[in-house]
Amino acid sequence: MSISAGRIALVTGASQGIGRACALELARQGATVALAARNVEKLADVASEIAAAGGSAHPFLLDVASEDSIKECAKAVVTALGKVDILVNNAGITRDILTLRMKRKDWDDVLSTNLTGAFLLTQALMSQMVKNRWGRIINITSVVGEMGQAGQANYAASKAGLIGVTKSLARELASRSITVNAVAPGYIETAMTAVLTDEQKAAMTQHIPLGRVGTDAEIAHAVAFLASEESAYITGHTLDVNGGMYMG
């Protein structure tokens, strides 16, 4: 598995966790990586890590909750690197609370960041992919978007919506050799899941047939495959990487 030389990948939320792991793996596979997130200092550290390993990466400021920031970032990346061949929509947030107590802002913030942000960034970049007649769009969704989770109605809705967007875009863009797929992580050890209590973690692990949590590197391997030349005949698919937690 490899990514052809000259491919440019843009990864959102690349400053930590799954986004960072995806950026490292895509660079290792041969892509030049545009690192996008709100924390530019952390992005610079990731860029240095990639450079030290012989790869190439460039940090860009991006707030996926802001339409203006999305447009500015997309323009900056294309201006600096010439194009984007591979887009990994990874940035996301949670605002967990039972629906009875959920404020409208908790709902709006999660949907705006996780779903609308991915849609707007894809929209900003897809025309040049169409022109180049090649592209890989990979949306990081979640097992929660497939099976639901108490206290996460907003997060589940945003991730389920991302699966719907994935399938629709796959149909729209297939004639231009652009594939659109999703990766749905299960329980992965990241900063986002670190806030869970030991009791919550133990309860979740009991429902994983493989008997362990996943790693961000395992998600990155799945993303790198879908970004590769070898995945050319896969589109509109949601790849579950969850240890058997959900078998759809």
Q: What are the residue numbers of the active site?
A: 155
Q: Are the beta carbons of 133 and 150 closer than 8 angstroms?
A: no
| CA distances from residue 126 to 67, 156, 208 in whole angstroms, order as listed | 16, 26, 37
Beta-carbon contacts of residue 193 (< 8 Å; ≥ 6 apart): 187, 201, 213
| CA distances from residue 45 to 42, 50, 73, 225 in whole angstroms, order as listed | 5, 9, 19, 25
| CA dihedral sign of residues 37, 39, 41, 46 | negative
Q: Report angle CA 196, 238, 108 to the nearest 5 degrees.
A: 55
**Helices first, then strands: H and E counts in the chain:** 9, 7
Query: Among residues 153, 135, 132, 134, which one has the least CA distance to residue 144?
Result: 153
Residue-by-residue DSSP string for 201-224: HHHHHTT-TT-S-B-HHHHHHHHH
Q: Say how far apart CA 205 and CA 182 lie, in whole Å.
A: 23
H/E stretch holding 74: helix 67-81
